[in-house]
Structure 1
Amino acid sequence: MVCNSCLKSVIVQTGQIGTILTRKRVHLQSTVRTLYAGGAGLTFLWNREFRTSAKMMVDSGAAASQGPVVHKFPEKDDAGYVSGGWKSEDGRLSCGYSSFRGKRATMEDCYDIKTSKINGQTVCLFGIFDGHGGSRAAEYLKQHLFEKLMKHPQFMTDTKLAISETYQQTDADFLDSERDTYRDDGSTASTAVLVGNHLYVANVGDSRTIISKAGKAIPLSEDHKPNRSDERKRIESAGGVVMWAGTWRVGGVLAMSRAFGNRMLKQFVVAEPEIQVILNRQRDK
């Protein structure tokens, strides 16, 4: 089975805890050994060994010191299918990612992975951006979201606040950058930010994040859909309407209730993230 649009997944493992970010529904087997993403014929081996590796420095962007050395699993690009990954030198953190374009003419989705040291503390950032109506919003998020987040003055002291404010400011900045165009690109964002032993998972839209803990799959995000009772109430209170057009849509147009971009529906389609915070005690051991 091949999905009609684009599929993107990022898989992160730290100790016995694994986190999966994906733009499609993920089924996690009880053995926590094999991951199937969206029924698209794509399989990941959870405990994969990075036998062919190379030393590299991961670009951390501005406002961050030189990042830690990691082992990188060589990226492969076979007929539009891209996959790769890396793990930290101490072996406590590993990451795998994949991407391929489905039946659409162009790729509208992006992902971003960064790791660095800030004030002596290692931070890792993982994100999936599922574009719609074009790729510009997703590309803007890849280029700017994590860079802006790491520059936030309270990123290390109040990470949850920094994520919320950065999401919404980045949305405003993207709309401002597109003010002279006739485009109306939009994008979801599902991100995981690891600061010390705290994992911050933020979501805007209908991309999903799942954590595997002790063999149990636990969802860390809830889709922002127009027919979700709280979302529908928010949209209607702002003067919008939720209509059925093959599925529930904001104004009969957009099938999600939160997103970056989407200028024409911005009054109703916000970029305020829902954030979950998970404490990973095993990183203290």
Structure 2
Amino acid sequence: MSQHSSVAGASRPVKEAGFFTKIKNVACLKSSSSSDKGKGGKGKSKSLSNKVSHGFHLVEGQSGHKMEDYHVAEYRKRKNHTLGLFAIFDGHLGDRVPTYLKDNLFNNILEEPNFWKDPEAAIRSAYSSTDKFILDNSMQLGPGGSTAVTAIVIDGKDLWVANIGDSRAVVCERGSANQITVDHEPHAERRRIEKQGGFVTTLPGDVPRVNGQLAVARAFGDQSLKAHLSSEPDVRHVPIDSTIDFVILASDGLWKVSC
């Protein structure tokens, strides 16, 4: 996992202070393309209905690795619905897998035939089929992998969040922060990993790792570890009302930074 951080967020006009104000200020400084990537980037825009604004910010850390984080922050019109699509993909062992996810995961979700009737089932199915494609095409996409946190806002009323790995989504509701994703860490899934023939190492000064390598228990790709990894997402539905101030999506470079 890289030590870069990526942040994407969506918000309604509210007043708040402290940490979240700083995050929003950083993520919404100036207009820019939603597909920018590199050593850093930032931008903001509004939905087609002007009810929800969103922004993003990318920062390259001190690890010496090249940037492997990608993001999506855009709105689309589908079947008379307005969809807000937001995601963070935190890659490792190369950027081909997160690049593929940026370009294809939301398309795969929206093309599921039951998306409008059962968004959760559609998201789960698309995550699974997307991971299968990545594994089947590892010669082209490489040996690496990626975590993911995705958020779909439907007509400004319903928020569907899914994740695998340790990129998180946090909702600010009435001024209080609530994490709505699950960090898929190896120690929490040790029993499943060992049942599938793998192991979890916990060495002094290091984080738990699957087979001594990967610091997350779920990810896209990673063919060499796939027998012991999962690509099953946790999915959460949050109705959007006046109590929801904003949502932040970010990679572990933000949430796990040492102060």
Q: State if a TM-score over 0.5 links the two structures.
A: yes
Distance in 1 between residues matched to 2:6 and 2:89, nearest whole Å: 9
Distance in 2 between residues matched to 1:139 and 1:79, nearest whole Å: 12
Kept in 2: contact 1:34–1:46 (CA 8 A)? no
- The structure richer in strand per residue is 1
After the TM superposition, which of the residue ranges 7-16 and 129-138 deviates more from structure 2? 7-16
Give the SS at the match of 2:108: helix
One-letter amino acid of the structure 1 residue matched with residue 106 of structure 2: F
Q: Is residue 2:16 matched to residue 1:32?
A: yes
Q: State the 1:260 CA deviation.
A: 0.4
Which residue matches 1:20?
A: none
Q: RMSD across aligned C-alpha pairs, in angstroms? A: 2.7
% identical aligned pairs: 32
Kept in 1: contact 2:38–2:67 (CA 8 A)? no
Which residue matches 1:10?
A: 8
* 1:118-162 Cα distance to aligned partner (Å, 9 max, x none): 211111110000001111111110011011111111111110000
Q: State the 1:188 CA deviation.
A: 0.2
- For 1:1-285, what aligned pairs fall within 5 Å after superposition? 5-14=3-12, 32-35=16-19, 43-45=23-25, 73-74=31-32, 80-103=39-62, 104-179=64-139, 183-196=142-155, 197-228=157-188, 231-245=189-203, 246-282=206-242
One-letter amino acid of the structure 2 residue matched with residue 98 of structure 1: H
One-letter amino acid of the structure 2 residue matched with residue 6 of structure 1: H
Greater relative CO, 1 or 2 (CA 8 Å, sep 6+): 2
> 1:249/1:47 Cα in 2 relative to 1: closer, same or farther (>3 Å)?
closer
One-letter amino acid of the structure 2 residue matched with residue 184 of structure 1: P
- The structure richer in helix per residue is 2
Q: State the 1:79 CA deviation.
A: 8.7
In structure 1, the gaps of 5 or more residues are: 17-30, 53-72
After the TM superposition, which of the residue ranges 239-248 and 157-166 deviates more from structure 2? 239-248
TM-score (norm 1): 0.75
Aligned residues: 237
One-letter amino acid of the structure 2 residue matched with residue 127 of structure 1: A
Distance in 1 between residues matched to 2:233 and 2:43, nearest whole Å: 28
One-letter amino acid of the structure 2 residue matched with residue 12 of structure 1: A
Give the SS at the match of 1:45: helix
> 1:214/1:122 Cα in 2 relative to 1: closer, same or farther (>3 Å)?
same
Larger Rg belongs to: 1
After the TM superposition, which of the residue ranges 95-104 and 73-82 deviates more from structure 2? 73-82
Q: State the 1:89 CA deviation.
A: 5.0
Q: State the 1:179 CA deviation.
A: 3.5
